Amino acid sequence: MSTEMAMLAEVPIFQLIDDQERATLAELLDSRRFAQGETIFHESQSGDELFIVREGRVQVYVTSDTGEKIILGENGPGDVFGEISLLDGGPRSATAVAVEATETLVLDRERLLELVEKHPHSAIDLLTVMGRRLRETDILLRTHVTRNPNLEEDDLLTFGQRIADRVATFGGSWTFIISFGVFLVIWVIINVVVLATRAFDPYPFILLNLFLSMLAALQAPVIMMSQNRQASKDRLKADLDYEVNLKAELEVAQLHRKIDHLTERLEGYMGRAAKRV
């Protein structure tokens, strides 16, 4: 029992309840084990239980409209999942799977009601903690910076693509324009003035034109390669924006459900508990 009480003291959702309430809660908990890969509950499945991970790891995810698996988080020892359905009695908002052999402590709605009836003030404590978590989620949605597409793309670049980028960057800079202009002027001065009688490339500078044509022939496809990669970068950025927007939409929908049902249910518990007291 002392071990369970120590664990409950570390669980965020039960942080504000006192030792007496925590002792009552520890008596109401059941232990349940899941094998590796076993599904604990499915999205949209009815449920009224909260799970506290005692050992192992649990992955919680949702499936988007396009069938994409979006991982919301992985829960280790001391973490809680499934609290939404416990509080509002609605369907599960995500799917939970045991990543490895897992032992959990389980609390259902009926036993939560017993806790509230014995300790009415615990309802306020639970409501306060959930309010804080909702506020933190809201702040996260407002301030969270998604993955940087530039860093994501750097991880995928090949050696040839990196060279193409550097060539394109240098070829389109004032450093290249000025240095190449200086080179042309020096070339002309050497062949027209310094080596006027024995120039290695006399006017109309056929050798220089040959070099310029070769440079243009090599530089053009390299620059085009870099430009094509820019289109790939734009597609990557669009994909990342879509993932962020989808996650934000899911989180906002969960926030609405939490606020509506949490307030309604806990106020009902408090009202019934007050009448019995």
**Which tens digit of pLDDT belongs to each residue from 173-228?**
788 788 888 888 888 888 877 776 777 778 887 888 888 888 888 777 777 776 77
Please give the mean pLDDT across all residues of the chain.
75
pLDDT of the residue at 35: 92
- What gap in Å lies between CA 19 and CA 26, rounded to an integer? 10
pLDDT of the residue at 58: 92
- What gap in Å lies between CA 122 and CA 115, rounded to an integer? 8
Dihedrals φ, ψ of 40, to 5°? -80, -45
- What gap in Å lies between CA 159 and CA 150, rounded to an integer? 16
Runs of H (alpha helix) within 101-173: 109-118, 121-143, 149-154, 159-171
- Give the CA count within 13 Å in the CB-facing half-sphere of 33: 2
Res. 66: pLDDT tops 70: no
Dihedrals φ, ψ of 217, to 5°? -65, -35
| Residue 148 binned pLDDT confidence (cut-offs 50, 70, 90) | low
Res. 252: pLDDT tops 80: no
pLDDT of the residue at 34: 92
Among 9-23, 26-40, 182-196, 243-257, the range scoring the smallest mean pLDDT is 243-257
Per DSSP, the residues of 4-59 read: HHHHHHH-GGGSSS-HHHHHHHHHH-EEEEE-TT-EEE-TT-B--EEEEEEES-EE
